[in-house]
Chains A and B, each alone.
Chain A
């Protein structure tokens, strides 16, 4: 490359670097050093002059000076602007809006799911995941839903084939966990579950659940109350009024449902189901229920999300309407 080409190359490079001209002082300084610094590109070119044949020097010198002037005045112009206080080329009206950048939003379900996870992880629960499509054994039989049992009617099920279902709860992962690991176990299991229910403002064909499972030698109903109270108070506030009332689930005995009191609505609202792991469940995964005890619980993320944010139509959560999502 001869000197002329070198000069053109630096010129081109500067024009690229200075369009747009950087608008923070650090970048301006970097740019200045790169071209006008003691060891900058312009200085390089000057020091290269000594290798230029004598007859070429006047022209080369002229070009080089022009370049230096061009670069220098570009900086001067910017410095002048900075002195006059302009944030950007030409504008000094601080009442103008700033540059706009795209804003992303985390889905409300994600926020609630993350909250639930972190509360339980704070008190030593691990997290497990499992398949959304599973066999009858893991979704029903092992959880003490015998075939033809009326409890199966509690959950309308999508079938892939007569023995394969879209899981109706994340409890299938409880079974996988206990098959794979020996107790003690302390897990929560978030995930997507499916119910064959007509879509309306209050139900959707799928939703998200967080289940919990705690198995150890000495785990009692009283421990379950303590842990779930801790959860409810952190999730809904320390002055939340709550109650445990008896209920029925095939996979727990005794079973309970947890309600919280809504002052606004003047009624109890159901937020989660729980209970002591049924011995039949332990039996199906070869855990001796004489030695091991535990409790399990499950909650709907949508329900908690709707309660917390005052959302009255579950379909909003799956519609992807930006006018909804940008509120979160």
Chain B
């Protein structure tokens, strides 16, 4: 909502500095988003258009004579609205406009132009660029434009929150200021007229289908109006807040809207087929062409104003074109209604429309304001358009809307605010905002005005008092009552450590988009959660795995020159297991990939080290050990659903906690990525967090010596060394401490389908110094078992 400073001054005395007003409003909860800055306009002066001729060489340009207070200068102007006698904002030769454009002496199509007549957008005071800015008649040629703008057109753009429909108007904003500054508030003139006979009743009758949707419909008629351009004061008012003047009748409706906040509509009375209006729900198949010349398809979602079955307006949203005021209109039917907020909201939403009227109705207009607005429109129609009011008013209002009284207690006020606010301040504030207040300090009875539908409860009143009191005046308390809870204060406590270990190992953390395309998601055989209203097809479902995002990022970095990558991300992935919300499973994952070289070739290493599954396996083992998960076992796993080839599942204590493997080419090709070989891991983060919380129990240090033995088995090429190791471990009794294969030898002498694996075994007893015979018996058993299972031979 754009508020004109000059307009505000009609209702309340305000500080002279626009910035000061903006700050006051912001601290009242009416956030000033932008004050139109005029400090860069010092070069601009007010000029007067003394003469205007068509440019000899261009029909669309005018050749004007501008009086700048001293001289008359020739100026070429392209705006259609320039005219003799106008006062305008003139940028003389040598001046600089806010956008940095310097005005020079120019020849335009052969004619000399000594300066420029400016539009509002060129001056940086609004977006208006359809024509030049026309100033008030009393502006004096030759005086600085800044002075004029400060007095006349300074404005503030306010961001009005949805709870304050009353502040979509100058009077509403003025009221808040008057309360804050304790200065009186004047109201616009909307005194009811006195009449003997309600003549308008013979001209118009209103019927309702449902009065809950339209609780009140005020109507009246003004005859013999003369439709034409608005007087300058009216034009200036509207233009000062960025509205365009259309004609005097429409301008009056808009003026009242901006002044009091109540939407009204002007029909051309003669376009109606009968005097009766029916307010009813729209029907499927119905159509109406609205004022903006767009044909709208109506449904029962909309409330319609109809005349003899024909829709003439979409209630509370926009009028119809057929019954609109034109330059031929002589008799105006004024509508000033009050519609139910949710009804208008649903109607506007289903049409995808948002208008100045619908914005106010859907937030809650003032049912009593409807009548005030009517009288204000009547008065202005007579004053501005020379109309004759038809005495009377049609005002069906079967259930009068009132606000319920609210009890406000001192106890709650003190408790909630935490500060001490005087009785007199409370009363002054609530009165000033329009509340009727009775009772004493411990218990006030307060009835809010109908223009404040947001005031329904005690807390709402407390907010009003506190907001006017000033949040900055509330003392900050640094002593507060504590709450202590015995449980773990952060269920993800271990995550910071996990991140620190991974980054310490060389992994870089990513945050990727959880919204993905069907193409990305469908690469895995996991049913995904789909979005009903996606931003685009590229983001129409939720990720089922973190891996694709990592690969996409890897691809991005490879294309940008970084190909040695170690990346990880934690976050949620989603699976639609069964239909509906209950069928959605959110899984907490930790995933990563490695790609390229882990160690670069350097002076110290003649060859770099490329990432491989063994590099990853080692990294994972170190990572897990570092977060207290020591006893892990890798098993081949062809059955994983995460797109790994040659996958290994990671087991600990009989449970699978994750997977590692080669990233499958299906995924890389499916996503169209330029990635060579990469390797990935995926862990169930909840399981890891839980496991890493394990308590450490100290085991006494064993001082008995370690005995090293090496075994060299010849086994079939197809036998996995890991299985041999497991077999050895299983048969190592209590004294086998570690098993470590250190070389694989392939040679004719060993056999073409065989390999010789040298394995180091370390033994230690916790109770004594091992003797040869202790170790030998275990070794013999190991040799026996391994030989049997794997048809192995000692070399």
Interface residues, chain A, with chain B CB atoms under 8 Å away: 1, 9, 12-13, 16, 34, 39, 41, 88, 91, 96-107, 109-110, 114, 117, 121, 124-129, 131-135, 148-151, 153-154, 158-164, 166, 184-186, 192, 194, 196-199, 205-206, 216-223, 225-227, 229-230, 243-248, 253-257, 276, 278-279, 293, 317-323, 325-326
Contact = CB atoms under 8 A, between A and B. Distances in A.
Contacts of A100: 599-600, 602
B666 interface: no
A318 B511 contact: yes
Nearest to B564: A102
Nearest to A40: B708
Interface stretch (B126-134, B143-151, B395-403, B483-491): B483-491
Interface in B380-420: 415-419
Given A223-B418, A318-B512, 11 more contacts: A13-B710, A100-B600, A102-B599, A129-B491, A158-B534, A196-B533, A206-B515, A227-B480, A254-B463, A255-B463, A293-B416
Contact of B483 (A216, A223, A253): A216
Contacts of B529: 133, 160
B193 interface: no
Interface in B409-434: 415-419
Contact of A223 (B29, B346, B477, B509): B477
B530 A160 contact: yes
Contacts of A41: 708
Interface string B710-735: 10100000000000000000000000
B535 A320 contact: no
A99 B602 contact: yes
7 contacts: A107-B509, A124-B483, A150-B362, A166-B542, A254-B459, A320-B557, A325-B509
Contact of A186 (B483, B532, B574): B483
B184 interface: no
Contacts of B604: 88, 91, 98-99
B27 A245 contact: yes
Contact of B508 (A121, A227, A322): A322
A90 B477 CA distance: 68
A105 B508 contact: yes
A222 B473 CA distance: 10
B26 A102 contact: no
A128 B487 CA distance: 12
A261 B101 CA distance: 32
B457 A279 contact: yes
A132 B572 CA distance: 8
Interface in B478-535: 478-485, 487, 489-492, 496, 499-500, 502-515, 529-535
A196 to B, nearest CB: 6
A110 B586 contact: no
Given A102-B505, A216-B481, A246-B471, A159 B490 contact: no
B467 A13 contact: no
Most buried by A among B162, B362, B743: B162
A5 to B, nearest CB: 8
A320 B512 contact: yes
B317 to A, nearest CB: 14
A320 B553 contact: yes
A229 B476 contact: yes
B61 interface: no
B489 A127 contact: yes
Contact of B345 (A1, A150, A217, A276): A150
B57 interface: no
A253 B557 contact: no
A245 B477 CA distance: 17
A206 B572 CA distance: 13
A326 B565 CA distance: 12
Nearest to A93: B603
Contacts, number: 269
B500 A245 contact: no
Contacts of B346: 148
A306 B598 CA distance: 31
A12 to B, nearest CB: 6
B249 to A, nearest CB: 30
Contacts of B415: 218, 220, 293
Q: What are the 7 tightest A-B residue pairs by CB atom distance, in nearest-first order?
A: A102-B506, A220-B418, A222-B418, A246-B29, A104-B503, A320-B553, A248-B161
Contact of A148 (B342, B485, B539): B342
B710 A154 contact: no
A192 B562 CA distance: 28
Contact of B562 (A131, A150, A322): A322
Contact of A110 (B467, B499, B581): B499
Contacts of B539: 205
Contact of A127 (B471, B491, B572): B491
A162 B533 CA distance: 10
A104 B508 CA distance: 4
Contacts of B418: 220-223
Given A133-B584, A160-B529, A164-B581, A220 B416 contact: yes
B142 to A, nearest CB: 34
A78 to B, nearest CB: 16
Most buried by B among A13, A114, A221: A221
A104 B504 contact: yes
A276 B162 CA distance: 18
A223 B513 CA distance: 37
A247 B31 contact: yes
A192 B581 contact: no
A128 B507 CA distance: 27
A222 B515 CA distance: 41
Nearest to A148: B342
B41 interface: no
Contact of B459 (A121, A226, A276): A276
B478 A226 contact: yes
Contacts of B496: 114
Nearest to A222: B418
Given A99-B602, A129-B492, A205-B515, A226 B477 contact: yes
Nearest to A229: B476
Contacts of B477: 220, 222-223, 225-226
Contacts of B505: 102, 104
Interface string B37-63: 000000000000000000000000000
A163 B532 CA distance: 11
A102 to B, nearest CB: 3
A98 B603 CA distance: 9
Nearest to B706: A34
B556 interface: yes
B65 to A, nearest CB: 42
Given A132-B572, A246-B27, A276-B416, A223 B556 contact: no
Nearest to A248: B161
B572 A192 contact: yes
Contacts of B572: 132, 192
Interface in B748-765: 758, 760
B566 interface: yes
Nearest to B600: A100
B581 A133 contact: yes
B586 to A, nearest CB: 6
Given A222-B474, A255-B463, A121 B489 contact: yes
A303 B490 CA distance: 23
Contacts of B566: 102, 104
B532 A321 contact: no
Contact of A218 (B481, B499, B512): B481
A271 B504 CA distance: 32
Contact of A124 (B484, B490, B510): B484
A226 B362 contact: no
B263 to A, nearest CB: 16
